[in-house]
Structure 1
Amino acid sequence: MIIPSEVKVAGVIYKVVEKDFVIVDESAGLGSCDFDKTEIELKTGMSQTRKEQVFIHELTHAILFEAGYTEHDEDLVDRFSIVAHQVLKDNRLVSEDKELSHVAGKHLFKSMFTSN
C-alpha cells in the first residue's frame, strides 16, 4: 500500500506527514489526525505494515470528522481500521506501485458509475 502525501476526504485535503515524534493526548503516539490543520501525522521508523495500519486508523478519524461525527469511539476506530486494512490488502484493492494504484483507482471509480 502506498501512503500518499495527501488525501482528499469529503473535498478537504489532508496532508500526510511523517514525524520523529507524534503527540496524542499529551503523550507519544504512532499517529494523529489534526482536523484544524487538516493533517495526518505518522511516526517515522514504523514497519511498512504498521505504518499502513496507522494511516488507515487516522484516515478513519478524518472520514468520521468530515462526515459530521465529532466524537469518535476509539475502540470502534481501532477495530474498523484493522479490518479495513486487511480487506484492502488481501483483496488487492490497493497496489504497491504508485502508477498502478492510480490507474486501478480510476478504473474502480469509473466502474462504480457505469454499467457494462
Structure 2
Amino acid sequence: MNLPTEVKIGAMRYSIELVPKLHEHRSLYGEVNYSQQTIIIADDISNQRQVNALFHELTHAILFETGDFDLCDDEEFVRRFSNLLTQIFADNEWLTKGVLCDGPTINQRTNRSYTETCEEGPDILPE
C-alpha cells in the first residue's frame, strides 16, 4: 500500500507509518499519538482496511486539533464518520483526480508555487 508519509492538520504535521504486525500483536488497525504527532497503520491488514484506518485516525487527529476533545474520544462517532468519509473519497474520484490535484499550489515549506498533478502523488484509494 502506498500511503502518504506525512499529513498536515491545521498547524501540525503528523507522520504516517506502516507498522509490521500491529494488528497481530496489538489487535489494532491504527493509532494516533497527539503529543508525538504520529499516525501508525497496521501493515498486516488489507489495503482497504489500511485506507479506512488512515481516515479513522485522521478523524481523531482533526477533532483533537480543533479542540473538540469529547468527539475526539467518542470512538463510535469517529468510526461512523470516518467510514462515511472513506466511502465518499472512494465513490467520488473527482475529489482526488483533477479538482484537488491540478493547478497552482503553494509549497508550505518553501512558500514557492508549483503545479501538482495526481500522477505525482500517492494513490491511496484501492480499486
TM-score, length-normalised on structure 1? 0.75
Report what 1:35 is aligned to. 34
Report what 2:101 is aligned to. 105
Q: Distance in 1 between the 2:22 and 2:44 partners?
A: 12
Structure 1: tracts of 5 or more residues without a match: 110-116
Kept after mapping to 2: 8 A contact 1:35/1:62? yes
Q: What is the CA distance between 1:47 and its match in structure 2?
A: 1.3
Report what 2:76 is aligned to. 75
Report what 1:63 is aligned to. 62
State the secondary structure of the residue aligned to 2:7.
Answer: strand
RMSD of the alignment, in Å?
Answer: 2.7
Kept after mapping to 1: 8 A contact 2:22/2:44? no
Q: Distance in 1 between the 2:63 and 2:102 partners?
A: 24
Report what 1:12 is aligned to. 12
Matched residue pairs, number? 101
Q: What is the CA distance between 1:3 and its match in structure 2?
A: 2.2
Report what 1:94 is aligned to. 96
TM-score, length-normalised on structure 2? 0.69
Structure 2: tracts of 5 or more residues without a match: 106-127
Q: Report the CA distance shift for 1:8/1:106 in structure 2 as closer, same or farther (over 3 A).
A: farther
Q: What is the CA distance between 1:104 and its match in structure 2?
A: 3.2
Q: What is the CA distance between 1:2 and its match in structure 2?
A: 5.5
Report what 1:114 is aligned to. none
* Displacement over 6 Å in runs of 4+: none
